[in-house]
Amino acid sequence: MMNSTNRPGMNEMVNELKARFNVEEVTFVQDHEAHVDLHRKDLHEALTYMKQNGFRQLSAVTCIDWPNEKIFQLIFNIYDWSKGNRFIFRVKIDREEAMFTTITNIYGGAKYYEREVHEFFGVVFEGNDSALKQLFLEQWDDLPPLRKDFDSRAYSDRKYVKREYKTSFGEKGGEPFERN
Amino acid sequence: MTITITDFLVAFGVAFCGWALQTSVSGITRKTVARMQKRYGPKWYQNFRDIFKLLNKRAITHGWVYDFGVIMALAGIIGTAMFTPVANIVVFKGYDNFFVFVYLFAVGMLGMAMSASGSGNPLASIGVMRALTQMVGYEVPFMVIVLALIHVRDTSSISALVDIQQASGWNLVVMPIGTIVGFICLMGMLGKKPFDTYIAPAELASGPMVEYGGKQLGMLMIMHEIATFVEISLFVNLFLGGGSNILEFLVKYFIVYTLASYVSNVLGRFKIDQVVTFYYKIPILLALIQAGMLVIFGWGV
Amino acid sequence: MAKKANIKKDKVKKIVIDKSKSIIDAPSGMFSDKINEPFAHEMIVSKDRSENLTPKQRKRKWKSMANYFSANSLWMLMYCTGCCAIELPQAMTSRYDMERLGMGPMATPRQADILLITGYLSLKTLRRLIYTYEQMSEPKYVVGFGPCTLNGGIYHDSHAVINQLDQYVPIDLYIAGCMPKPEAVMNGFQDLIDLIEVGEATGWKDYHARYEWYKQNQKEALGEVMIHDEFHE
Amino acid sequence: MTILTIIIALIVLSFATYYITKINNQVGAYTTVVVTLAALVIFLLEGDKLSGASSIGILRFSVTPLAWFFSIIMLIVYSMVAFFNPYWMKKILHPGAYNMLFLLSLAGTIGVFFAENFIVMFIFWEIVVWASMFIIPFGKSRTASVVYYAMSTFGSFTFLYAIFMLYANYGTFVIKDSLEAAKGDANIAIAAFILMLLAGFIKLGIFPFHIWLPMAHGNAPDTFSPILSGGLVKLGAFLTILITTLLPIHEVTKDQAYIFGVPILIYVLMIFGAISIVVGTLMAIKQDDAKKLLAYSSVANGGYILIGILLYDEMALSGALIHIFGHAIASATAFLTIAAVSYRTGTTKMSELGGMIHKMPITYVVYLMAIISMAGIPPMTGFISKWLLFQALADQGMFFIATTMFFGSIGSFLYVFRPLSVLFLGQLKPEHKTVKEAPIGMLIPMVILSGITLFYGVLPNSLVEYTAKIESALGFDKVIETSALVIQGNNGDLHAPLITGIFAFGFIIALIIFLIAPKSRKVGLMDTYTAGEFLYTPSLYHAGYAYYAPFERLYQKHPNIVALFAALVQKVKDFGKFIRFVFFSRWPGRGVMFIILTMILLMWGEKL
């Protein structure tokens, strides 16, 4: 992994972030793309700072479930159109009490991303009430489906009628498949 | 001249044969177009099958105006077709006035537009809006040309115009520019590409037709075929000298329709404002020039 | 030109026999007792078409004009749900030329006769599908493409994808293959035409007959079909 | 019975109605119905037996077929519209004054039609102007009334000037005599013609004087808009016909250069008619208010009428007369249906309405028949007049004028269809779920008017024969010919009953096909193709706003005649400000200084 890049603005930005915030780790994925692991308390300030410095677009908000570490990792993907640089901020939050403060007052477009994260992972965003409403899954009635402890197959078996076959397609069962 | 019930029946026979003719011809055109595209194509009687299938289906209705509009549309177009002179079969001689054609035709269009809007689907309303807007485009140049023709020939009866052409040469020769304008307007009337903006299946989900299925759509298809018959016959009668016998008429008819179809098959689609600006640039200018040539200078007469 | 275009039906069928040799048996108990024969042959495309028809059926074929017209003018609603839709353009264009069977794409469900379900169906799509199906005017036919419509296919364990489509809407014909090749698609359509001509594609009647049963299944999977939320007001 | 008696009776009754209305609104309103109907019945029964013999001083009247024709149109419109008055008594500010002015304006119009001399005509003309001027502000806007009055006054002045000019030269006020005398001197005749025509132009709403029409029609009380469009506008047509044919202008101007068979002056005037058609059509397409839309359509139809009159051809005049008849009836009907909708819903804005057919089916049918006539589609009266006008145009070969007429004719499909589609069809708004059909008192006149439109569309011959009578009375050498059921044109015959018969035949065939095919299943209006999406809000699922948006976009940057008038108004205001600044300021020194300066200049001038 590179620790620095020749890309204009990237190194300066990283240094600034390091100086201002509690940055845990910085990884350069590409010349113009860096992953920054932040402490959850610094995220809002960091995003505000980034937005003031040209990163006007929030490309995505998503989440990764780490059931063994018992954390959710929230991912905020921001982009600077003037320089073509991308930063990906990652913060860790507690899995059991999945709460985070909304960033809609910084990036208004986060409204729907947060809604999606809430729907698929169950993370509650304080301050964004609309995030509690359903978005994609119409009338969902189970655990948030992208959590690792959600068993998709069991859900499918329970919910949907499966077709029954007379023939078993196991290792030795079934008719031999003819190719001619 | 007294009009008897026999006249009505003969006239209806013309309308019916016109429908059968146009349905077959469009089937044949579908076949030839398919061959042009290296396809096998449907049977020539495919359109008949489509129509009868639709009449067999259990359709839905959105209220009385939805049904009434369809009946009115078909009635208007059948009425127009009954006036149409075909070769030497002229039922209502002298009364087959050009302006009657234009406005009786509008009854059918109004009925269809009314029915489509009555379905309550906004896409249908938009389609109707486009159809009417397009009508403003193509009707005016066409009517200007025909007005000049009526002025020089001193009759607005279609059959009389045909007789004059049989005697003294086709209007294609008398007014070549006018014939071109007439053909462009005919394309608009037929709703062939590039003037099929109001149907636009991908954009508008077939526009006015969006809510139709079953017998209503079947009747509108019959109406469409008869309307095409009327329009092509009008063009043949006005510009190509009609026909001294049925065969001549049929040949001309076939050529005009096939040509229009082929032209439409190699073109894209205009936007609706492009349609209007197109008609108000070239065709209307040509129409006025042709009208001036005929009326003021008397060239070609 | 003509030679290329005029693919003989037999040849098409032969290819199909090779490719889509049935590996699936007809599901049992799919249809109510009202319909005597289970639709075995619609599941298995391997048999020769002419073998499917009993003499009695052949007789009926010529009797019913309505069926003849319905069969030979199938307008399809292209409701492309999954990967199989990619096979339709080939079936439609010069190489296989669907139009010679009298088929063609139509814009709205009101005009269409057949509903092609080309691949997996998520719950969200299924709602729209049922709504669309109910809007179609009768007689109407449904064709399922690929294994996804049959048993969920490779999405059989997904939380969002239903497994067995015929629980929710009646299917008249399945076309096997993942994805079915255009030859199989064409052959499937030809089979559907035959079924309609003999008056055996009666899925829409079945939907009327067992409406409660279908509604029950739909409710179990979807909650309510017509969903009310902020995007639909 | 003499005209004088009728007019005096009407005037007396109008004042009586004022007091009756003061006592009871409804009785007053029904009085207008009874009086107008009685007048109509008298005119129909007496027919040609009406005499203008009796007179008081200069108040002399003469009965001509033209006057009778126009007064019948007027009386039909007035009597049918009067049925609506009782329902509006609560909505109008001063019901007493409204009823009085309603009858007074009727008396005025009849006076104008039967006047024997110009002075009487002018007096009654002014009565009409003043009566309608006071009625218009009972509706929405006072500005409309001001504009209407300003325009009308201008017309009145030119009219009066022309009258006195003729009197000064020939010493007579009698219409026939003075016009006969004017024939000799082309210059005076043309000057008087144009000055009088200006008054006609303003009433008829010809470009560039059309701006009062939509303002007044759109803002007048809903019951008076049909009178304005169906009745009072036609006064302009009457005046135009009178002076054009009695002079006749074609003989006066025969020394001028000819274009397309008419003198250049006539052609220029026709161009104004053509511009009115185009402007009226384009503006009508844009309107969102149904009343304004119909008002602009009146502008366009005014253009047809003007061209028809100026063609000075037996077909064209007959066409124009039938068009006046047809348009008066159809336009009044259309306005009445809008009034009925407005009565039930309280709005005439099309984008706020929708799906009214489900609540007001009879009103819808009436509107449909009215617009079929307005668009000139058979089997309605509008088609007969359009056919005759096109015949005359084709005969003259005026293809430039014809282009605009065709444009107006096809354009009329667009604008008349808009209320049909947006207001009556489409999705019903939830707030109109409880709306009911118009009350029976409103339906009766609407149905009668539709019946008239249909009747003269199917059997136009009696109407055409009457126009032939008018033509011969006006001194035409050749009059329009009709035989049995056929109207004989210059280049083609029209068999109106045949067209209707064929349409009916086609209708039966279509109905048979419809009935043979399987029965349809009734579904709700919201159960439509939505690309599979679930929608529940009807008002969002209705294409009502900016209906012809792509077409409107093509001419959205059009030059606006209103701007010109606004600039004129601004100049007058500026001048007034200047005067006030100089003479009416707090410092009299300014005025004194101005006077001194002027005097110095004057004296300087004298010295030199």
At B212-224, the pLDDT tens digits run 888 889 999 999 9
User: Which residue of D lies nearest to C133 if distances are taken between CA atoms?
Assistant: D532
Residue C48: per-residue pLDDT: 45
Taking an 8 Å cut-off on Cβ atoms, the answer to whether A180 and C18 are in contact is yes
Same domain assignment for residues D197 and D314: yes
Interhelix angle D118-135/D143-170, rounded to 10 degrees, is 180
Query: Does the pLDDT at position A94 exceed 80?
Result: yes
User: Which residue of A lies nearest to C223 if distances are taken between CA atoms?
Assistant: A139
Q: Indicate the residue of D532, D535, D536 with minimum beta-carbon distance to C132.
A: D532
Q: Indicate the residue of B39, B202, B209 with minimum beta-carbon distance to C97.
A: B39
Taking an 8 Å cut-off on Cβ atoms, the answer to whether C28 and A164 are in contact is yes
Residue C232: per-residue pLDDT: 63
Residue D174: per-residue pLDDT: 85
Angstrom distance (rounded) from CA D33 to CA D163: 36
Angstrom distance (rounded) from CA C142 to CA C148: 15
Angstrom distance (rounded) from CA B86 to CA B246: 7
Judge D/A contact: 3 or more CB pairs < 8 A.
no
What percent helix, strand, coil does chain A show, rounded to 5?
25, 30, 45
Q: What value does the mean pLDDT take over residues B77-82?
A: 90
Residue C47: per-residue pLDDT: 40
Query: Does the pLDDT at position D465 exceed 80?
Result: yes
Q: Is the dihedral of CA D21, D23, D24, D28 positive or negative?
A: negative
Give D485's pLDDT tier (boundaries 50, 70, 90).
confident
What's the length of chain C?
A: 233
Q: What are the pLDDT digits (tens) for D95-124?
A: 888 888 888 888 889 888 888 888 888 888
Give domain status of residue C10, yes or no.
Answer: no
Q: What are the pLDDT digits (tens) for B156-165?
A: 888 888 888 8
Give domain status of residue C188, yes or no.
Answer: yes
Q: Indicate the residue of D529, D536, D537 with minimum beta-carbon distance to C135.
A: D529
Residue B222: per-residue pLDDT: 92
Angstrom distance (rounded) from CA B81 to CA A106: 68
Q: Are D375 and B124 in contact (CB under 8 A)?
A: no
Q: Are D313 and D395 in contact (CB under 8 A)?
A: yes
Give domain status of residue C43, yes or no.
Answer: no
Query: In 3D, which of D247, D547, D256, D297 has the Cα closest to residue D425?
Result: D547
Residue A171: per-residue pLDDT: 58
| Percent share of chain D, pLDDT over 70 | 99
Residue B163 is part of which domain span? 5-297
Give domain status of residue C84, yes or no.
Answer: yes
Amino acid at site D353: L
What's the length of chain D?
A: 608
CA distance B27 to chain D (A): 22
For residue C156, the domain's CATH number is: 3.40.50.12280
- Chain D residues touching B109 at Cβ < 8 A: 413
User: Per residue of chain C (233 residues), what is the pLDDT tens digit?
Assistant: 344 444 444 443 333 333 333 333 333 333 323 333 344 334 444 344 555 566 666 555 555 777 888 888 888 887 788 888 888 888 888 888 888 888 888 888 888 889 988 888 888 888 888 888 888 888 889 988 888 888 888 888 888 888 888 888 898 888 888 888 888 888 888 888 888 887 778 888 888 888 888 888 888 888 777 777 766 65
Query: Does the pLDDT at position D326 exceed 50?
Result: yes
Q: Indicate the residue of D410, D490, D542 with minimum beta-carbon distance to B139.
A: D410
Q: Indicate the residue of C23, C158, C223 with minimum beta-carbon distance to A156.
A: C158
- Chain C residues touching D529 at Cβ < 8 A: 108-110, 135
Interface of B with C (CB under 8 A): 30, 34-35, 37-43, 46, 49-50, 52-53, 56-60, 201-202, 205-206, 209-214, 217
Interface of A with C (CB under 8 A): 133-134, 136-139, 141-142, 145, 150, 152-153, 155-157, 159-167, 175, 177-178, 180
Q: What value does the mean pLDDT take over residues B8-18?
A: 88
DSSP D429-440: PGGGTT--PPPH
Q: Complex ipTM, two decimals?
A: 0.82
Angstrom distance (rounded) from CA D573 to CA D385: 45
- Chain D residues touching B117 at Cβ < 8 A: 420-421, 425-426
Taking an 8 Å cut-off on Cβ atoms, the answer to whether B215 and D547 are in contact is no
Query: In 3D, which of D432, D421, D440 has the Cα closest to residue D548?
Result: D421
Residue C43: per-residue pLDDT: 42
Judge C/B contact: 3 or more CB pairs < 8 A.
yes
Residue C19: per-residue pLDDT: 35
Q: Is D536 on the interface with C (CB under 8 A)?
A: yes
**Counted domains in chain C:** 1
Within 11-30 of C, beta carbons closer than 8 Å to A belong to: 18, 21, 23-25, 27-28
Residue C21: per-residue pLDDT: 37
Question: What are D426's two structure tokens?
Answer: 């489409």
Residue B22: per-residue pLDDT: 92
Q: What are the pLDDT digits (tens) for B276-293?
A: 889 988 888 998 888 888
Q: Is D535 on the interface with C (CB under 8 A)?
A: yes
Compute the count of residue pairs across chains A and C with CB atoms less than 8 Å apart: 69
Q: Are D299 and D279 in contact (CB under 8 A)?
A: yes
Judge D/C contact: 3 or more CB pairs < 8 A.
yes
Q: Give the mean pLDDT of chain D.
A: 85
Taking an 8 Å cut-off on Cβ atoms, the answer to whether B154 and D491 are in contact is yes
Query: Does the pLDDT at position D50 exceed 50?
Result: yes
User: Which residue of B lies nearest to D526 if distances are taken between CA atoms?
Assistant: B120
For residue D424, CA distances in Å to B128, B211, D141, D338, D546 come to: 15, 18, 26, 10, 16
Q: Is the dihedral of CA D152, D154, D159, D163 positive or negative?
A: positive
Q: What value does the mean pLDDT take over residues D523-537?
A: 81
Q: Indicate the residue of D534, D536, D537 with minimum beta-carbon distance to C131.
A: D534
Q: Indicate the residue of B65, B72, B143 with minimum beta-carbon distance to D406.
A: B143
CA distance C100 to chain A (A): 31
Same domain assignment for residues D244 and D388: yes
**Counted domains in chain D:** 3
User: Which residue of D lies nearest to B141 if distances are taken between CA atoms?
Assistant: D403
Query: In 3D, which of D70, D490, D401, D471 has the Cα closest to residue D248?
Result: D471
Q: Residue D589 CA to chain centroid, in angstroms?
A: 53
Residue D84 is part of which domain span? 1-116
Angstrom distance (rounded) from CA D216 to CA D133: 9
Give domain status of residue D121, yes or no.
Answer: no
Report the b/e string of D241-252 with b at 16+ CB within 10 A. bbbbbbbbbbeb
Q: Is B158 on the interface with D (CB under 8 A)?
A: no
Same domain assignment for residues D350 and D429: yes
Q: Is D430 on the interface with C (CB under 8 A)?
A: no
Q: What are the pLDDT digits (tens) for D139-164?
A: 777 788 888 888 888 888 898 998 88
Query: In 3D, which of D312, D308, D333 has the Cα closest to residue D387?
Result: D308
B contact chains, 3+ CB pairs < 8 A: C, D
**Counted domains in chain B:** 1
- Chain A residues touching C160 at Cβ < 8 A: 137, 145
| Tokens 């804005």 sit on residue | D349
Same domain assignment for residues D477 and D590: no
Q: Is D603 on the interface with C (CB under 8 A)?
A: no
Same domain assignment for residues D292 and D321: yes
Angstrom distance (rounded) from CA D148 to CA D162: 21
Q: Is the dihedral of CA D360, D366, D370, D376 positive or negative?
A: positive
- How would CATH label the architecture of A10-159? 2-Layer Sandwich (3.30)
Residue D136: per-residue pLDDT: 82
Residue C31: per-residue pLDDT: 32
Q: Is C129 on the interface with D (CB under 8 A)?
A: yes
Angstrom distance (rounded) from CA B175 to CA B179: 6
Cis peptide upstream of residue D215 (ω within 30 degrees of 0) = no
Residue A178: per-residue pLDDT: 52
Same domain assignment for residues D211 and D291: yes
Query: Does the pLDDT at position D480 exceed 50?
Result: yes
Residue B119: per-residue pLDDT: 86
- Chain B residues touching C112 at Cβ < 8 A: 213
Q: What value does the mean pLDDT take over residues D422-430?
A: 85
CA distance D294 to chain B (A): 18
- Which of B57-71, B132-146, C52-66, D590-604 shows the lowest per-residue confidence on average (mean pLDDT)? C52-66
Give domain status of residue C29, yes or no.
Answer: no
